[in-house]
Amino acid sequence: MSQFPSSRPRRLRSSRAVRRLVTETRLDPAGLVLPMFVREGIDQPQPITSMPGVLQHTRDSLKRAAVEAVEAGVGGIMLFGVPAERDATGSAAVREDGVLNVAIADVVAEVGEQTVVMSDGCLDEFTDHGHCGVLDERGGVDNDETLKVYADMAVAQAAAGAHMVGPSGMMDGQIGVMREALDAAGHQDVSLIAYTAKYASALYGPFREAVDSKLKGDRRTYQQDPANAREALRELELDVAEGADIVMVKPASTYLDVIRDVREATHLPVAAYQVSGEYSMIEAAAANGWLDRERLVDEQLMAIARAGASIILTYFAVEVAQRLQDS
């Protein structure tokens, strides 16, 4: 008669070397993307109080931070601009001398041959009402009028040197319109990162401080309902048909099921964005001594990768990439 336990899974957990050998999911610095903020009209980097360790950069400090990210082995940089002046249509987003377009050119000139420079193709940072598009006479976001601005914004960012543009506004048809505009302007090689499933989440709060958002109201009429998962697959079908190169889920840790669903439904690369609130919760818990910060950072990112994301946007990118290189 057999004596139990006859099978001992613990054998493969018996030492760090064994655990490393049989690891199923591995984080890779090349799959990490660092979101960065550049603010117009400041002469020193400004700390973001709700995101300890994250800064609103000057043009010069942005370039230095980009070099640091590249040296750490981070695979990409996602740039967000904070303009000095805003208006109803977000006109600073399409101007050649707008803060984001100038910052793209700066970073591309500094590290453009060594990493992937991505840009945020959304209007919320640039509008005086804080919404991701142009408003109609009733105060709602006008989808089709917004698409016209998105097309111009994509071309402006591509002209500045962006390798990839990420329209995060969740307007219907945004990928198709931007793809057509980029191709018509001779930017066929510029990729589009589709924010395929961007949910109307409570986790964006610290980001609002990071970009000095002027949002009035909320974005539930265009961002996805947190209760819906199948809806993400409908968005995925549309983004793929319109020409997306990469598809993304945002936020990440509260939508691991959606990441898995999207991964199983497409052959395109799948990204996930560990957003500001996810970052800030970890930092707050660690600052209070409630959790082991380094272990939690790694566990959260591993969960996102295990769910199916091969690209992870995270404010921990440089720290984690450096640690992976040293391990």
| Mean pLDDT, range 38-51, rounded to an integer | 97
C-alpha distances in Å from residue 26, one per residue of 116, 146, 303, 306, 309: 21, 40, 10, 9, 11
Is 250 known to be catalytic? yes
Strand, coil or helix: what is 57? Answer: strand
C-beta of residue 201 within 8 angstroms of C-beta of residue 229: no
Question: Angle formed by the axes of helices 99-111 and 143-160, to 10°?
Answer: 30
Strand, coil or helix: what is 79? Answer: strand
Q: Measured between alpha carbons, how far is 195 from 218 in angstroms, rounded to an integer?
A: 18
Q: Exactly one of 63, 148, 198, 216 is catalytic; which is it?
A: 198
**What is the chain's mean pLDDT, rounded?**
96
pLDDT tens-digit series, residues 5-17: 889 999 999 999 9
Could you give the percent of the chain with pLDDT greater than 70? Answer: 99
Between 194 and 213, name the one with better pLDDT: 194
Task: Please give the pLDDT value at position 254.
Answer: 97
Task: Please give the pLDDT value at position 158.
Answer: 98
Please determine, for residue 128, whether its predicted confidence score (pLDDT) is greater than 80: yes
Ordered domains of the chain (ranges, CATH):
26-326 (3.20.20.70)
| Mean pLDDT, range 98-102, rounded to an integer | 98
| Mean pLDDT, range 222-236, rounded to an integer | 97
| Mean pLDDT, range 209-237, rounded to an integer | 93
**How many Å separate Cα 131 from the centre of its chain?**
18
| Mean pLDDT, range 201-219, rounded to an integer | 90
Pull the structure tokens for residue 188. Answer: 């066929």
Is 198 known to be catalytic? yes
Confidence of residue 155 (pLDDT cuts 50, 70, 90): very high
Please determine, for residue 327, whether its predicted confidence score (pLDDT) is greater than 80: no
pLDDT tens-digit series, residues 255-304: 999 999 999 999 999 999 999 999 999 999 999 999 999 999 999 999 99
Task: Please give the pLDDT value at position 1.
Answer: 57
Confidence of residue 77 (pLDDT cuts 50, 70, 90): very high
Rounded to two decimals, the pTM is 0.96
Q: Exactly one of 148, 214, 216, 250 is catalytic; which is it?
A: 250
Please determine, for residue 137, whether its predicted confidence score (pLDDT) is greater than 70: yes
Residue 34: which of 154, 118, 126 has the closest Cα? 118
Confidence of residue 217 (pLDDT cuts 50, 70, 90): confident
Cis bond upstream, residue 5 (ω within 30): yes
